[in-house]
Structure formats: C-alpha cells, structure tokens
Amino acid sequence: MGMLKNSHNLQTVATLTVLVLMSAVFASFSDRFFTVSNFQNVMRNAAPLIIASCGMTAVMIARGLDLSVGSVLAAASVLAASLAVAGFPLYIAFALGVSFGAFVGLVNGLIIAKISVSPIIVTLGMLNITRGIAYLITPSAILVGLPGNWSDLGTSKVIGLPLPIVIAALVAMFFHVLMSQTTFGKRIYAVGGNEEAARLSGLNVSRTLILLYLLCGATAALAGIVLSSRVGVGDPNVGIGFELQVIAAVIIGGTSLSGGEGRIIGTIIGALIIAVLGNGLNLVGVEPFWQWVAQGTVLIVAIIVDRQVQDGVNRANK
C-alpha cells in the first residue's frame, strides 16, 4: 500500500542525496564553496530558475511543455527596463513585465488547448516571436540608464535574506499549496494523468491548460525581472537556452515527461542541483563550455536513475 507515495519520497531522497554529494565534492575541491556568501550567491543565482521552474512543473504535470520561457524572460525584463527608463514607476514597470509574460502564456495556452496544436510547436514558435520582441524593444543591444532603484529587487535583503531568494520561496510555496491543497491542483494531475478521465469527470480541460500556460508565462517573466534587477541592466540576449535549464530542473526533480506526476519540492532540488553544479564548476575553475556538457550529462543521468528507481518500485510492488 502507498508504494507510489513511497516512490515519491524515495525520489526526493535520491535527488537530495545527489545534491549533498555534489556539494561535498565541490567543498573538497574549493574552500570557498562552503561559505555563507557563496551559499547566498548560489541561492541568488538559483532564484530565477526556481521561479520559472515552478510554472513549468505545473505545465509539465499537465502533460504540456513550454519552450518559450527563456525568450519570455528576456522580453519581459527588457520591457520592464525600458518602461523604467521611460520614467514609469518601478512597480508599474514590473507589473507590466509580468503581465506581458502572462499574456504570452495565455496565447500559448489558447492555441494549444483550443486548436489542439502540439505544445512543442506552439511554444517553439513563441520562443522566436518573443525573442524578436525583446530585440525590437531594445535595438541597441543592452539597455542602460536605468533608475538607481532598479536593482533593489535583485540586491536588497529582507530579514537578512537576499530578496530574490524570498521571492523564489514565496512563488514555490504558492505553487506547492496550489498543487497539493487545492481542487485546481488535483485537476492538474488529472489532466496530465488521464485527460479523457478528466474530461469525463466534468473538468474543463482546456481552461485548466490555458491557466497553466498563463502561470508559466508569468513565472518566466517574473524570473526575468528578478534576474535583470540583480544584473542591473536590461539585456535582450539574456536567457538563451534558459528553457532547457528549466526543463532539466523539472525533470531532475522527478516530474514525469508523460505527465501526471511530479512535485514542487522535487523541482526546487532539481534547480538547486543545476545552480550548485554551475557555481561549483566555476569555483573549481572548469571552463564554461564544459559546464554545458556537465549540465546535459546530469539531466540524462537523472532520467536514467529515475527510470531505475521507478522500475525497482514497480518490481517491489509485485
């Protein structure tokens, strides 16, 4: 009884173990790794990834996929930055940036759910469109001349914690509660696990999907604003390949590619594994190109391990 629940816990323990082992290895190679400042640094770096991965987790549990998050991140951040340069109050610039992401997600969701086009194709198209929009907003490469308080969101601290970390934690908590404690959350699993059953149970499957893509777009945009606020510029080149990091974090965290399974806690660990990997390799002095190789390898290994664990549990079940 409850074997599958156990398999979730097992999964969490397994990914957590990988994170701890990886940290231990890096700590043994570099004494700068296990310091408070580096820890905060890792977390700050991981924050945009965690934020965007939360939205992606929900979409992927519903058996969807959003490849446009990297471009949405860029477009939303340069949109907010250019509004700030134009003299809009920051909160309005940020809110419009996030709304832009939500709008892109809405369009994704409408096309995917209402016209039944494959999410890969729709969001791949949207990846190009929004990247184009990012360059259209800031033709002159990097946007400078931002107001002084632009960086507050990315650099200030709340109760001793960097604000990006607090924002990521709040977003993660929101999604965790949404998915585990609400009716809507149950429906996400139902839509991803067995769409026909969901439909026959009276669920509005397309509305669920549209809302999920909207949330995913919004989290990607929020991630973009947090990122550009921390970096202090609006850069249309930011976030190229970010969608793959996000998807990797979600999959490493144990969300099934075929939908119906996955948890936010797993995704957070997945995002941390990616962040620690990047940070650790930097500290150890590995060339950036090798970091791509390492990230890809971790993703593939995670999927293989996941498969083995799943098979093991299935066998034990019988």
Q: Could you tell me which residues are beta bridge partners of residue 146?
A: none
Distances (CA, A) of 297 to 25, 94, 292, 293: 17, 36, 9, 6
CB nearer to other proteins: give 120 or 197. Answer: 197
Q: Name the minimum Å distance from CB 6 to other proteins.
A: 10
What whole-number distance in Å separates Cα of residue 56 and Cα of residue 259?
12
Q: Any contact of residue 5 with other proteins (CB under 8 A)?
A: yes
Residue among 174, 185, 206, 291 that touches other proteins (CB under 8 A): 185
Residue among 192, 217, 236, 280 that touches other proteins (CB under 8 A): 192
Q: Name the minimum Å distance from CB 12 to other proteins.
A: 16
Candidates 74, 72, 69; CA nearest to 56 is: 69
**237 DSSP assignment:** T
Q: Name the minimum Å distance from CB 318 to other proteins.
A: 8
Residue 120 tokens read as 């890969």
What whole-number distance in Å separates Cα of residue 215 and Cα of residue 227?
18
Q: Among the candidate windows 22-30, 143-151, 193-201, 235-243, which touches other proteins by CB under 8 A?
A: 193-201
Q: Any contact of residue 199 with other proteins (CB under 8 A)?
A: yes
Radius of gyration of the chain (CA): 19
Vertex 83 angle, CA 82 and 89, to 5°: 140
CB nearer to other proteins: give 198 or 277. Answer: 198
Q: Any contact of residue 30 with other proteins (CB under 8 A)?
A: no
Vertex 68 angle, CA 191 and 111, to 5°: 50
Residue 250 tokens read as 């979600």
Q: Name the minimum Å distance from CB 190 to other proteins.
A: 5
Q: Any contact of residue 266 with other proteins (CB under 8 A)?
A: no
Question: Distance from CA of residue 205 to its chain's centroid?
Answer: 23
Residue among 143, 198, 211, 272 that touches other proteins (CB under 8 A): 198
Question: Which residues within the stretch 203-222 sit at the binding site for other proteins (CB under 8 A)?
Answer: 203
Q: Among the candidate windows 24-32, 168-176, 177-185, 274-282, which touches other proteins by CB under 8 A?
A: 177-185
Residue among 194, 206, 282, 291 that touches other proteins (CB under 8 A): 194
Phi-psi region of 232 (alpha: psi -120 to 50; beta: other; left: phi over 0): left
**160 DSSP assignment:** T
Residue among 111, 187, 215, 280 that touches other proteins (CB under 8 A): 187
The residues binding other proteins (CB under 8 A) are 1-5, 181-183, 185-187, 189-190, 192-194, 196-203, 260-261, 315, 317
